[in-house]
Structure 1
Amino acid sequence: MNLPTIKQNGKTVIIVKEPRVDAHNSAELKDRILKILEGGERNLIIDLGEVEFIDSSGLGALLSGYKNASLHSSAFALAGLKPRVRSMFELTRLHRVFDIYSRLQEATSS
């Protein structure tokens, strides 16, 4: 899975450069998030701007990241959700759980 990580305004951003986050690659995303949090990062943003599809495994990986961030007293946000991906969060009511920003720039400046 292509998951470049950058620092922007003191926050760590994982950019998901995949069209799909599903059962085939969600474990890798989950592991990357956990590794960054265990490394001491306190402000993590997941940029989903290139993701066209996410399934329950992908949602589960992000929810796991959110829970681990809470355990590490870290901020955890999502950015750049396309309409189809955003609808999955709304259908599952997870849009009430996550801090979701329409653009990465909004997330990094908050």
Structure 2
Amino acid sequence: MVNINQVDGEYHVSFYNTPKLNIINSKEIEAQLIDLTKKESTGLVLNLSEVKFIDSYGFESLLNIYRSAKMNNSSFKLMNVSNEAYELLKLVELDKVFELA
């Protein structure tokens, strides 16, 4: 579901076989990534190139991960956001909240 690598003090997370971040998988992914925000690191970078759909549960999970990162003085970035996921982020105005790389 997710692949996690540490690069220069940041956790880089990529999704495989996970075209959707939704009610089915978002809470499990959220739990994994919130644990990472509590470890000593400079940040968390999510590669969303494979994610094509995000529902309200997925957005809630992304926001919870973002908040946890901020509370633990870590950065939180989304990178390589697919066109489909970017349009959804724009629709709910989270493109203004999250740092996009």
TM-score under structure 2 normalisation? 0.92
The CA deviation at 1:90 is 0.4
**Which runs of 5 or more structure 1 residues have no equivalent in the other structure?**
102-110
The whole-number CA distance in structure 2 between the counterparts of 1:100 and 1:89 is 11
The whole-number CA distance in structure 1 between the counterparts of 2:71 and 2:46 is 17
SS at match of 2:34: helix
Match of residue 23 from structure 2: 23
Match of residue 6 from structure 2: 7
Kindly report the root-mean-square deviation, in angstroms, between the aligned alpha carbons of the 2 structures. 1.0
TM-score under structure 1 normalisation? 0.85
The CA deviation at 1:33 is 1.2
Asked if residue 78 in structure 1 is aligned to residue 78 in structure 2, the reply is yes
Match of residue 93 from structure 1: 93
Provide, for residues 77-108 of structure 1, a one-character-per-residue CA deviation record: whole Å limited to 9, x for no partner.
0011111110111011100000012xxxxxxx
SS at match of 2:2: coil
Structure 1 residue ranges (4+ consecutive) displaced by more than 3 angstroms after TM superposition = none
Question: One-letter code of the match for 2:61?
Answer: A
Report if aligned partners of 1:52, 1:85 keep a CA contact under 8 Å in 2: yes
Report if aligned partners of 1:42, 1:72 keep a CA contact under 8 Å in 2: no
**Which runs of 5 or more structure 2 residues have no equivalent in the other structure?**
none
The whole-number CA distance in structure 2 between the counterparts of 1:50 and 1:8 is 20
More strand by share: 2
Percent identity (aligned): 25
The whole-number CA distance in structure 1 between the counterparts of 2:48 and 2:28 is 15
Q: How many residues align?
A: 100
